[in-house]
Chain A
Amino acid sequence: MIKLFSLKQQKKDGESSPRSNNQKKATAAQLRITKDINELNLPKTCNTEFPDADDLLSFKLIICPDEGFYRTGRFVFSFKVGPNYPHEPPKVKCETQVYHPNIDQQGNVCLNILREDWKPVLTINSIVYGLQYLFLEPNPEDPLNKEAAEVLTSNRRLFEQNVQKAMRGGYVGGTYFDRCLK
């Protein structure tokens, strides 16, 4: 253990400083997101869009599944990374209306690593893969849209037709969906 104030009487004053060129330092959250973004390894069905290239904390992910119920659709998610990243997960919302058991009409997404199972070792890439998987394997066990989940469990053909109907734009049950074919 070092003995700290052998400099006991030394008086520190604000005025003299080795480097005070008013440089702001990047926060740990900022550094970490820079690292995450630089190392994003997107599957070929995914794409990102940064409205402002200088702001890595806010961007969109576009998923165009090439297999499963949702092939030919185009789904947009917004990511907002907070100052406490990676201690807290980013806030992710689905901006496209989608008929999906794990996504509701307000764009809330039920994906465990976005909430209760988030850990600081996870990255943006982990979330991208998690979201992509939701489109390949919608999970009726953890529904946010209960009707869709029930249809998926009881009648897969009807579920597939409903997904198609929603993606082309139109009503499924009482809910209207905007067209989201790519």
Chain B
Amino acid sequence: MSEHQGVSQKRWGHLRKVLERPGPFSHPDFEPSSEILDFIMTTCKLLVIGAGGLGCELLKDLALMGFKQIHVIDMDTIELSNLNRQFLFRQEDIGSSKAEVAASFINRKVKGCQVTPHFCKIQDYDETFYRQFHLVVCGLDSIVARRWINGMLISLLNYEDGTLDQTSIIPMIDGGTEGFKGHARVILPGVSACIDCTLDLYPPQITYPLCTIANTPRLPEHCIEYVKIIQWPKENPWGSLIDGDDPQHILWIYEKSLERSTQFNIVGVTYRLVQGVVKNIIPAVASTNAVIAAMCATEVFKLATSCCVPLNNYLVFNDVDGIYTYTFEAEKKENCLACSQIPQTLLIQDPEQMKLKNLLDVFCESAAYQMKNPGLTTYINGKNKTLYISTIKNIEEKTRENLTKTLLELGLQDGSEIMVADLTSPNVLSVRLKFASKNVDT
């Protein structure tokens, strides 16, 4: 506290007004205190995922807000086309890591802030890494990545006898933009709707019927899709998959698409459109990013300080024509595959003797499960393993021998998690094995 008392007295005056006295919009349980600012500046650890359009805004907002321990992760490098809106990057940074350049820019400009960059994929880190954060903010453009981090934060939840340990919750604030549209949402894993609960809200990628593309194209996009889906695999000019970053590939697709569009009297095939369709680019609008990032940063602040009631829980924003916002409460899905599974513990008395078929009997016969055709899979050494599935002849034949193996022989350990699919439940049940120790504790 002492170090930043003098100079920062003024610098953080506006935050003090919010944090050191109650106000009409305070959270009902809010207790004003000078320690809260201290928490933001010294203890609170944030992870920003993505250092692109949203990420640059988020880092700037959070750093200027007083957060000092910020990590940022992004696997991409800077491209020329980023520079108009990703304002932490300059011409000479092209080719460098977005995370690294963004971090050093913020660290240089915002005194006292320590941004730590991670130039890699989110999948490169495990639970140990993600567990260190108080909050995670996402500025991503990919649904797969959102679902992955969502799944990760859910797997960090701790249940004791079926009750969620609230200290294991790492809130996720998710921002997203597409042109003039955007959203900001607050996810409390295990408590409120998660990414998978609301998958229906994400518009599916635009896809055109294959037969239209093949026979009755009407749009320039139809011609490009035709070259991409049908002509490329047939002629395979470079003997490889399409690389959207290879100008030669784009040029080839552009020329072929143009030929096809002339054939069908369609206008509008341009090099840029080809690039857009092939790489699935949605034009980015700097102001939308700024608005959504500001909303997300505000939510981070509210959650970190408890000074205000957080967004409940999904806000959509649209500034195509004037400004429109709407907030609703996305509902947690009862049978969500990602967040509804509370791992159950199954005590195994004699893991050295117990065979897989005995375990199947437990699922079918014990009063607690009463399953009909349980299919069992697990993870061993980070790889999926099918233990037994009876319904598919070909898998049954390959996994039948597992039935007479003991749990130990199958590579299962104390703490291993088994996924059980069964007709009787819309969910896949997750069961954690607990091996009874043979000897009395030493």
Contacts and interface: CB of A to CB of B under 8 A. Distances in A.
A34 B413 contact: no
Nearest to A144: B214
B379 to A, nearest CB: 5
Nearest to B171: A4
Contact of A143 (B207, B211, B373): B211
A40 B391 contact: yes
A1 B27 CA distance: 10
Interface string B288-320: 000000000000000111100110100000000
Contact of B209 (A7, A12, A23, A110): A110
A41 B303 CA distance: 47
A5 B303 contact: yes
B379 A24 contact: yes
A83 interface: yes
Interface in B121-138: 126-129, 131-134
Interface of A: 1-15, 17-32, 34-35, 37-40, 47-50, 53-56, 83-84, 86-88, 102, 104, 106, 108-110, 112, 114-116, 118, 120, 142-144, 146
A12 B47 CA distance: 13
Contacts of A11: 43
Contact of B233 (A25, A26, A106): A106
A47 B148 CA distance: 32
Contacts of B134: 5, 12
A12 B199 contact: no
Contacts of A143: 211, 214-215
Interface string B264-307: 00000000000000000000000000000000000000011110
A115 B207 contact: yes
B188 A4 contact: yes
Contacts of B132: 12-14
Contacts of A108: 210, 229-230
* Pairs of residues from A and B, 5 with the lowest C-beta to C-beta distance, nearest first: A38-B375, A142-B211, A38-B421, A53-B398, A110-B210
24 contacts: A4-B166, A5-B134, A5-B304, A6-B306, A8-B39, A14-B129, A17-B131, A25-B152, A28-B337, A32-B428, A37-B392, A38-B373, A38-B389, A39-B421, A53-B398, A53-B399, A54-B385, A56-B384, A83-B147, A108-B210, A108-B230, A115-B208, A116-B207, A118-B207
B392 A40 contact: yes
A144 B373 CA distance: 40
Nearest to B39: A8
A17 B128 contact: yes
A103 to B, nearest CB: 10
A84 B143 contact: yes
Contacts of A25: 151-152, 155, 379, 417
A57 to B, nearest CB: 8
Contacts of B322: none
Contacts of B152: 25
Contacts of A9: 35, 39, 43
Majority secondary structure of chain A interface residues (helix, strand, loop or mixed): loop
Contact of B215 (A17, A37, A106, A146): A146
A35 B384 contact: no
Nearest to A30: B384
A31 B392 CA distance: 17
A56 B386 CA distance: 8
B394 interface: yes
B367 interface: no
Contacts of B391: 37-40
B382 interface: yes
A114 B204 CA distance: 13
A10 B167 contact: yes
A83 B144 contact: yes
A12 B45 contact: yes
Contact of A26 (B229, B384, B392): B384
A27 B419 CA distance: 11
Contacts of A13: 132
A152 to B, nearest CB: 14
Nearest to B383: A54
B234 interface: yes
Given A1-B312, A53-B395, A54-B384, A120 B199 contact: yes
Given A3-B29, A5-B306, 6 more contacts: A23-B379, A32-B428, A38-B422, A40-B392, A88-B205, A115-B208
Interface in B336-356: 337-338
